[in-house]
Amino acid sequence: MVGSDVPDAAVAGATSRSAPAPSVAGTEPAERPAPATFEQARGELEDIVRRLEAGGISLEESVTLWERGEELARICQAFLDGARQRLAATDPAAG
């Protein structure tokens, strides 16, 4: 990932699969690209949490949103782990 704060290896496992977008009755879910930044992933995760907390959606959509939220949480963790590794690399005494 050029220009990212996270090495490709740190995010590779978290972003190797794109979660399907919530489906509309009778259609196949669309693949979503992995967020390019921590802020994008966190923002999408916050939106999902708001939608789930608000209710009023079907069980199927709730499960689809939950699955996407789980994926986004893994992606956010990978970004944080990469940042932690970079910080540790700058301070040899910390490692």
If you compute the radius of gyration of the chain from its CA atoms, what whole number of angstroms results? 16
94 DSSP assignment: G
Amino acid in position 56: G
Report how far residue 69's alpha carbon sits from residue 4's, in angstroms, rounded to the nearest whole number. Answer: 22
Decide: 86 and 9 in contact? Cβ < 8 Å.
no
Domain boundaries, the chain: 38-95
What is the pTM (predicted TM-score) of this model? 0.65
Task: Print pLDDT tens along the chain (95 aa).
Answer: 434 454 444 444 444 344 444 444 444 455 788 899 999 999 999 999 999 999 999 999 999 999 999 999 999 999 999 999 999 999 877 65
Identify the CATH number of the domain defined by range 38-95.
Answer: 1.10.287
Judge whether 68 and 32 are in contact, CB under 8 Å. Answer: yes
